[in-house]
A = this chain, B = another copy of it.
Amino acid sequence: MTKTKLTRQDFTSDQEVRWCPGCGDYAILANMQRVMPELGIPKENIVFVSGIGCASRFPYYMDTYGFHTIHGRAPAVATGLKLSRPELSVWIVTGDGDGLSIGANHLIHLLRRNLDVNVLLFNNRIYGLTKGQYSPTSEVGKITKSTPNGSIDRPIDAVSLALASQATFVARCFDVDAAGLQSLIKAANQHNGTSFIEIYQNCNVFNDKAFAHISDRDVRADKTVWLEAGKPLLFGNNNDKGLVRDANGFSVIDVKSAADLQKVYVHEPRHGDSSYAFQLSQLSYPDFPVPMGILRQVEQPTYENCLQEQVDASIKKNGQGDLQTLLNSGTVWEM
């Protein structure tokens, strides 16, 4: 059935896509549909699980298995699914409200359990589906329908939170960066353990250009740094700037010579201590380039494997359970 190489079309469902014209979600969908055939997974083994929000409509448009659950709970549904069916490739799609407001607790616990699933958090820094209230990632002072005088809570950084939750794969990307996004989707798929990708996504209706100051073509090179394992942290139009790291944290230098280049810190996503990645995650506009790409990637046992191992070990030790024996255990007597 799935022998022949799949194409983008194979991953396009028959459902009419219903996001606002111009929404960043379209690009993410397109990239996903484009990459999926390259992963080599039979499409019947792929499941998209989402919560509620514009982002969470995603599963309807993928011609795979899909579950559009309730607000904030996709990680919990996905956990049950993955424990029940470790062989499936499970993708969670969530939004900044879905994943960081009502559902943040499930996300944290998913990450610390390290189930081998992939999380895509579409961060548009707004509640899209409910028509424009501020979200946990909205910047302080944000004027929205529910905050006419400006919001007063400090935004959550999804990547920092994921790191504190001990995520084993943490990455960040723009909706508009097709190449970057595709590479991250592939890397996430490769990773054994929970992969967390925050995608900065434009909601052109309720929060247009929320990331334009760093994502626009003319500023992107200067305002972001693309992280690559084993490569120095260079950015700027001609890689003419670099990040140097010392006991006081990061600082930016101009890279004009080989000597300068020497000073630039070499990205090491496999750092055992998550503090390095955390420090990266705290770099912010305008003082620093915003890190994009994979901040952290380490190997740790997955929850579903550990659980399966306990099951297997128990069978090995006690034999495949026999029901009659079980019932007849404890104090049994005959009348």
The distance in angstroms between the C-alpha atoms of A39 and B81, with both chains bound, is 52
Name the contact of A153 in the complex, choosing from B103, B161, B303 (C-beta under 8 A).
Answer: B303
Interface residues of A in 104-132 (CB under 8 A from B): 104-105, 108-109, 112-114
Q: Which residues of B contact A274 (CB under 8 A)?
A: 282
> How far is the CB of A191 from the nearest CB of chain B, in Å?
16
The residues of B that contact A113 with a CB separation of less than 8 Å are: 152-154
Report B-chain residues with C-beta under 8 Å of the C-beta of A306: 152
- Asked if A246 is at the interface of the complex by the 8 Å CB criterion, the answer is yes
* Bound-state Cα–Cα, A108 to B310, Å: 33
Chain B residues contacting A112 (CB-CB under 8 Å) are 136, 153-156
A160 at the interface (CB under 8 A from B): yes
Highest count of chain B CB atoms <10 Å: which of A163, A246, A275: A275
Instruction: Verify if A300 is at the interface (C-beta below 8 Å from B).
Output: yes
Residues of chain B contacted by A104 (CB below 8 angstroms)? 104-105, 108-109
Any B CB within 8 A of the CB of A270: no
Q: Does A278 contact B (CB under 8 A)?
A: yes
Given contacts A152-B307, A307-B152, contact A161 B246 (CB under 8 A): no
Instruction: State whether A164 touches B163 (Cβ < 8 A).
Output: yes
| Contact indicator B273/A275 (Cβ below 8 Å) | no
- Using Cβ atoms and an 8 Å threshold, which residues of chain B touch A155? 112
A273 & B282 in contact (Cβ 8 Å cutoff): yes
Which partner residue on chain B sits nearest A141 by CB separation? Answer: B306
A41 lies within 8 A of chain B by Cβ: no
Which residues in B have their C-beta under 8 angstroms from that of A300? 154
- Asked whether any CB of chain B lies closer than 8 Å to the CB of A313, the reply is yes
**A149 CA to B150 CA, complexed, in Å:** 51
Closest to A306 in B: B152
A300 to B155, CA, bound (A): 13
Choose from B105, B275, B301, B313 the contact partner of A249 (Cβ within 8 Å): B275
CA distance A182 to B146 in the complex (A): 41
Tell me which residues across on chain B come within 8 A of A278, comparing CB atoms. 164, 275, 278-279
Given contacts A153-B113, A153-B303, A165-B156, contact A265 B279 (CB under 8 A): no
Name the contact of A246 in the complex, choosing from B109, B166, B246, B265 (C-beta under 8 A). Answer: B246
User: A300-326: which have CB < 8 Å to B?
Assistant: 300-301, 303, 306-307, 310, 313-314
Do A273 and B247 touch (CB < 8 A)?
no
Residue of B nearest to A245 (CB): B247
A38 contacts partner chain B, Cβ-Cβ < 8 Å: no
Q: At the interface, yes or no: A157 with Cβ under 8 Å from chain B?
A: yes
A-B contact pairs, 14 of them (CB 8 A): A102-B105, A108-B161, A112-B156, A113-B152, A113-B153, A114-B153, A149-B314, A150-B310, A152-B303, A156-B166, A161-B164, A163-B164, A246-B246, A273-B279
Chain A residues near B (Cβ < 8 Å): 101-105, 108-109, 112-114, 136, 149-150, 152-157, 160-161, 163-166, 245-247, 249, 265, 273-276, 278-279, 282, 300-301, 303, 306-307, 310, 313-314
